[in-house]
A and B are shown apart, each in its own frame.
Chain A
Amino acid sequence: MSRPPGGGGNALEVTGIGRRFGHVVALAGIDLAVGAGEVLTLLGPSGSGKSTLLKIVAGYDRPDCGIVRLGGADITDVVPARRDIGMVFQNYALFPHMTVAQNIAFPLEMRRLAKATIETRVAEALALVGLVGYDARRPSQLSGGQQQRVALARAIVFEPRLLLLDEPFGALDRKLREQMQVEVKAIQRRLGVTTIFVTHDQEEALVLSDRIAVMEGGRIAQVGTPAEIYRRPVDRFVASFIGESNLLPATILSASATGFVADAGPGLVLHARVEDGMPRPAAGTHVTLVIRPEAIRTRGAETVSNAATARVAEAIYVGDRVKYRLVTEGGTRLSVAWPAGADGPLATGSEVDLDIPATAIHWVAA
């Protein structure tokens, strides 16, 4: 669907990767290419196969079939030690008996670099992750965020051909997590290292990635930029996994060159526009309409695409926005999210006139 950005070609290519554990199919024929310098996120719920795929790329697990290529060379049977891949583990896996500096020096020592070179590179790596002066500390004397910086420094200090991040922010509290996400992204940009990032947190994926591969049941459901995935999910799973959305079962009444008309429940006939080049549903088919909560507007003076009237069933104040659960006159439930106005949220039970823009309605198979 979407090609890796940049003209540098593909750093990593996996082709036809399959892996089963007993009767459980962990990966069912994965094809994926990661462009040089790109950050690609494997996003999916636990059990979707994303960790298995990462292990196969890192060399900790062997696929039953398929090929892993790094920089064009087949590395499927190459041991981890010879792959030149830097990895940040879920719980960092710092060597507890070594100091911070010894941890970071480890991959350089394994590459038999000169002592002076090692010292310089370790100092540079410490500076890069903002841990100057922490050389002599033990991992047990560091906070979670600091441990993660050490793990990152250790993973990039030997200039790996690929950087793998396995749920690296899971152990951090929310505020620190957001800060580390920004820092990791900045460091990645600066080094330009090709990166694969594994997470089950869709928000994190949207923040960090150039492209996202959404995984489900051992397959890649969709690959695309965060905006593509968010705005044009290919199926119900992707639509519900990334962000919040209203998923409305509907029947296509008619379809034209530019859009379609769908019956989405009593009193809710929606006119939708389809972008050029995107598939159109056939009349009479049953589909699921995907409408993001923030795309639904209150009806003002401007042009109305699809008008509806609804009652506020619940209002949840979340600071910058208010999330409403609405029920239309025909009984259809809708979630919307609007900026919190100066006069506070709408009262429960009050009526609102809605406008659902034709461009905000996306369809996927039922």
Chain B
Amino acid sequence: MSAATRFTPGWAALGIAPLCVLLLFFVAPVFRFLLFSIADGTLAPFEKALTDGLHMLVFLRTLEIAAIVTVICLALGYPFAYWLATTTPGWRAVGFAFVLLPFWISVLVRTYAWMILLGRNGILNRNLVALGIVDAPLPLLHNTTGVVIGMVHVLLPYMIFPLYAVMRRMDPALLGAARGLGAPGWEVFRRVYLPLTLPGILSGATLVFVVSLGFFITPALLGGGRVLMIGVLIERQVRQFLDWGLAAALAVIVLAVALGIYAALRRLLKADLQWS
């Protein structure tokens, strides 16, 4: 991981063009936008962002949803990644197709698909009622449940890929050795497999959590305006209240939190997991 990456001048030159494009069309506008937060020469927007009870509430709600999504992605992604890493090449190709196909489809399309599936008269509820499993349609749309379902669907690959990478690199002899030394199955998992896949868990969880923080389309559509995540709030400040300063201040805070989490993970991986 550490010393393997090396750049030669020739290859570095190839990076200049994309770097310019990124700087010009991505970094510069984002930076320009963030500057709105201190545009009038005071920190008033930040004060407003941090003291307003609503903003804090939305922020905590965002962290909560991001945490729930992360935990569910881990719970679903871990066994699936394990299966991908250990199955035959044929099944692995099939498994990857299932992960990648949705990954390649636009988030917007997928979110609309979920609206059709989860609605009050959606496919899911109609069948559940028809089969007599539930008496009344379940509230799956325009609430947190719907947002979480949609976000898990979009973010699951971000969890699966880092997990799959560490699981593929796992030396099966280590598991065999643990068994031979007297470890029953769950001890093999707890003492050997889990600690050795921890870097993948941390990477995947960070990725999912950080990306969740900034989610906009899914909570906006599946939440039906009733699930306020910070991304939705920022968009409202800009579009409805034209308060660019506050929107930028909120964005800076989200960015800071995301970078903070990322930095903490880097430190954790470096300090504690040197063996990998």
Contact (A80, B275) CB under 8 Å given A107-B181, A110-B181, A158-B181 = no
Nearest CB on B from A94, distance (A): 8
A95 engages B192 (CB within 8 Å)? yes
B196 engages A97 (CB within 8 Å)? yes
Interface size for A (C-beta < 8 A) is 28
Nearest CB on B from A83, distance (A): 7
Question: With a CB–CB cut-off of 8 A, which chain A residues contact B173?
Answer: 89-91, 93
**Closest chain A residue, CB of each to CB of B174:** A93
Contact (A81, B179) CB under 8 Å given A93-B171, A97-B195 = yes
Q: How far is it, in angstroms, between the C-alpha of A87 and the C-alpha of B196 when the chains are bound? A: 21
B176 engages A110 (CB within 8 Å)? no
Q: Could you give, for residues 194-212 of chain B, a 1 whenever the CB lies within 8 Å of some chain A CB and a 0 otherwise? A: 0110000000000000000
Q: Could you give, for residues 174-198 of chain B, a 1 whenever the CB lies within 8 Å of some chain A CB and a 0 otherwise? A: 1011111111100100011001100
Question: With a CB–CB cut-off of 8 A, which chain B residues contact A91?
Answer: 171, 173
Interface size for B (C-beta < 8 A) is 21
**Closest chain B residue, CB of each to CB of A87:** B180
Interface residue? B274 (CB, 8 A): yes
Interface residue? A348 (CB, 8 A): no
Q: Could you give, for residues 136-176 of chain B, a 1 whenever the CB lies within 8 Å of some chain A CB and a 0 otherwise? A: 00000000000000000000000000000000000101101
Q: How far is it, in angstroms, between the C-alpha of A95 and the C-alpha of B180 when the chains are bound? A: 13
| Complex partner residue of B183 from A81, A83, A139, A140, CB under 8 angstroms | A81
| Complex partner residue of B182 from A60, A90, A110, CB under 8 angstroms | A110
Contact (A80, B176) CB under 8 Å given A110-B181, A110-B182, A140-B275 = yes
Question: With a CB–CB cut-off of 8 A, which chain A residues contact B179?
Answer: 79-81
A110 engages B183 (CB within 8 Å)? yes
A89 engages B177 (CB within 8 Å)? yes
B180 engages A106 (CB within 8 Å)? no
A106 engages B181 (CB within 8 Å)? yes
Interface residue? A59 (CB, 8 A): yes
**Closest chain A residue, CB of each to CB of B182:** A110
Nearest CB on B from A303, distance (A): 57
Nearest CB on B from A62, distance (A): 14
Interface residue? B88 (CB, 8 A): no
Question: With a CB–CB cut-off of 8 A, which chain B residues contact A79?
Answer: 179
**Closest chain A residue, CB of each to CB of B181:** A107
Question: With a CB–CB cut-off of 8 A, which chain B residues contact A23?
Answer: none
Interface residue? B276 (CB, 8 A): yes
A96 engages B182 (CB within 8 Å)? no
A60 engages B176 (CB within 8 Å)? yes
Interface residue? A175 (CB, 8 A): no
Nearest CB on A from B173, distance (A): 4
Interface residue? A138 (CB, 8 A): yes
B275 engages A138 (CB within 8 Å)? yes
Question: With a CB–CB cut-off of 8 A, which chain A residues contact B181?
Answer: 81, 86, 106-107, 110, 154, 158
Q: Could you give, for residues 123-167 of chain A, a 1 whenever the CB lies within 8 Å of some chain B CB and a 0 otherwise? A: 000000000000000111000000000000010001000000000
Interface residue? A58 (CB, 8 A): yes
A80 engages B180 (CB within 8 Å)? yes
If A58-B180, A81-B184 are given as contacts, then 15 extra A-B residue pairs at C-beta distance below 8 Å, sorted by A number, are: A59-B180, A60-B180, A79-B179, A80-B176, A80-B179, A80-B180, A81-B182, A86-B180, A86-B181, A91-B171, A95-B174, A95-B177, A97-B196, A110-B187, A140-B274
A-B pairs with beta carbons under 8 Å apart, 13 shown = A60-B180, A81-B180, A81-B183, A83-B180, A86-B181, A93-B173, A95-B177, A96-B196, A96-B276, A97-B196, A97-B275, A154-B181, A158-B181
Which positions in B face A, CB cutoff 8 Å?
A: 171, 173-174, 176-184, 187, 191-192, 195-196, 273-276
The 3 A-B residue pairs whose C-beta atoms are closest, nearest first, are A110-B182, A93-B177, A107-B181
